[in-house]
Amino acid sequence: MENNTQARKWALVINNPLEAGLDHAAIREILRRFAPSYFCMADEIATTGTYHTHIFLLAPSPTTNCEITRYNKFDRKNYFYPDLPKAYQISQLYLPICRNGHVDIETAAGQKAVGIHEIHMEEDAGKLVHDPWLDETMVDYNRCGVPLLEIVSEPDMRSAEEAIAYLTKLRQTLQYLGVSDCRMQEGSLRADVNLSVRPVGQKEFGTRTEMKNINSFKAIARAIAGEYRRQVELIEDGGQVKQQTRRWDDNKDASFAMRSKENAQDYRYFPEPDLPPMEISQAFIDAVRARQPELAEAKIARYQREFGLPEYDARILTEEKPMAELFERAAAVCGRAKEASNWIMGETMAMMKEKAVLPENLTLSGDALGAIIRAAADGRISRQSAREVFAYAFDGGEDVEGYIKRHGLEMVSDDAAYERVLGEVLAACEKDVAAYRAGNEKVFGFLVGQAMKALRGKADPKKISEMLGKML
């Protein structure tokens, strides 16, 4: 199972499981290491009298579970708008490259599958840039004609929370596949929000509106909430929602009508005359599947199995591909996976928040972080010194060993140096020494602190305590 990354459905049989100590609780614990989407089991006694357990396991979805269309062709979509100067767009209406998929999401309400109607290829249009101060709109044509993939979801989401969970899962999958860096602020991942409302109990969907190219998850959540309020208030006031394309203005917390929403007939689709149909071979599909990288759910299971990490750690580390890569390299360098996890979830993420650094922009390398963890674990530098070196490495510093030496951060290991400093402390603190010998044990901590101060924190407190105890 660990070596077969393509199979999703498994049927297993364990003969005489109790003899191996495998009751249902033990089996469940083993299966959870694989982070399955679903599993079930049942016991049976064969006609031969053999007691055995049947298990069905559904592994996590590798990508989007879509059917791949082997025969593809392109269509010309005709419309005029300022961001499309040639007045048509090459797209796929009739034979999209992918169809009938789904993405599994999890929210506070539980697990849910969000359907994917299709994934099609098309060329990008220009970018409308709205100036909130001048209340003007400019057009950037730099991305016109650039190829992109458009993922069309089914109307299965019922809240902003589900929409964000769906987009998060898609973004994570695309990152791990290397399809895109998914930087929404740069336009490499964009989302159009289609929304409609309906009375409780009504089966038919209401009239939908579409809000274009919202550039952050927070803005998407606000846009959903704002457009929901607008439609509900409009209906309650006796009005009707019009099918239209709208622009969300995050600064004004409101959406504004751009144009009426067209249908397929309005676009006058016809076969693209300049591009011949394209057929994808099964051999090519199989080759792509064979080199598919390890995705987040598989990493979560492996981190628990291979590194012994708690599920919580594994999920946090794999949320973003750059963080997973940082962890794996740091763990390889220092050989201490749990400490690497703690440093990433603690100091690293705290510093990222403080400096507003996104995972994809992180300059901290796994080699540098692993070297810091190893130096601290080996007792070569103190925890305080490790944090100082970390601040240097976080800003892109790679020469950890050089930094430690240049700044004199290595711990004192010479017994003679300890004895010399402790002798000086005892000589300078005669009254405190006398008080300790008279029975005031609280003075001992003060004397240890004075020795640590004299050694500038580059000493082992435990060793100082042991040696000081002998000298007193």
What crossing angle do the helices spanning 443-454 and 430-437 adopt, rounded to 10°? 140
The pLDDT value recorded for residue 402 is 94
Report yes or no on 145 lying in a domain: yes
Let me know whether 337 and 265 are in one domain: no
Report yes or no on 4 lying in a domain: no
Let me know whether 15 and 85 are in one domain: no
Report yes or no on 2 lying in a domain: no
Cβ contacts of 419 within 8 Å, gap of 6 or more: 467, 471
| 192 three-state secondary structure | strand
Cβ contacts of 285 within 8 Å, gap of 6 or more: 68, 70
Number of compact structural domains in the chain = 4
Distance from C-alpha of 343 to C-alpha of 331, rounded to nearest angstrom: 11
Among residues 348, 463, 449, which one has the least CA distance to residue 411? 463
Let me know whether 203 and 300 are in one domain: no
Let me know whether 218 and 100 are in one domain: yes
Q: Are 392 and 404 in contact (CB under 8 A)?
A: no
Cβ contacts of 355 within 8 Å, gap of 6 or more: 394
Let me know whether 102 and 219 are in one domain: yes
Among residues 451, 36, 164, which one has the least CA distance to residue 464? 451
Let me know whether 206 and 160 are in one domain: yes
Report yes or no on 285 lying in a domain: no
Q: Report angle CA 239, 243, 244 to the nearest 5 degrees.
A: 110
Let me know whether 443 and 396 are in one domain: no
Among residues 393, 349, 350, which one has the least CA distance to residue 375? 393
The pLDDT value recorded for residue 5 is 45
- Listed as ranges, residues in the chain with pLDDT below 70 are 1-8, 33-38, 58-62, 213, 261-264, 412-415, 456-457, 459-460
What are the tens digits of pLDDT across the range 90-135? 999 999 999 999 999 988 888 899 999 999 999 999 888 878 788 8
Last residue of a domain, one of 353, 381, 406: 406
Kindly report whether the global pTM for this prediction surpasses the value 0.75. no
Last residue of a domain, one of 219, 253, 279: 279
The pLDDT value recorded for residue 461 is 75
Cα 42 off chain centre by: 35
One-letter-per-residue 3-state SS of 210-260 = EEEEECCHHHHHHHHHHHHHHHHHHHHCCCCCCCEEEEEECCCCEEEEEEE
Let me know whether 142 and 269 are in one domain: yes
Is beta strand 254-260 parallel, antiparallel or unpaired with respect to 191-195? unpaired
Report yes or no on 3 lying in a domain: no
Q: Report CA torsion sign: 367, 373, 379, 385.
A: positive
Distance from C-alpha of 104 to C-alpha of 143, rounded to nearest angstrom: 32
Tell me the residue range of the domain where 438 lies. 415-471
Let me know whether 252 and 205 are in one domain: yes
Distance from C-alpha of 111 to C-alpha of 347, rounded to nearest angstrom: 32
Let me know whether 199 and 228 are in one domain: yes
H or E element, residue 189: none
Could you identify the residue written with the tokens 């902003």?
160
What are 101's two structure tokens? Answer: 């998929």
Report yes or no on 399 lying in a domain: yes
Q: Report angle CA 372, 378, 381 to the nearest 5 degrees.
A: 55
Phi, psi dihedrals of residue 440, rounded to the nearest 5° = -85, 90
The pLDDT value recorded for residue 372 is 96
The pLDDT value recorded for residue 247 is 87
The pLDDT value recorded for residue 160 is 94
Q: Are 417 and 438 in contact (CB under 8 A)?
A: no
Report yes or no on 115 lying in a domain: yes
Give the CATH number for residue 425: 1.10.10.410
The pLDDT value recorded for residue 35 is 59
Last residue of a domain, one of 406, 426, 455: 406
Let me know whether 136 and 246 are in one domain: yes
The pLDDT value recorded for residue 262 is 65
What is the residue type of 52?
A: H
Report yes or no on 288 lying in a domain: no
Q: Are 75 and 92 in contact (CB under 8 A)?
A: yes
Let me know whether 40 and 75 are in one domain: no
- 12 secondary structure, DSSP code: E
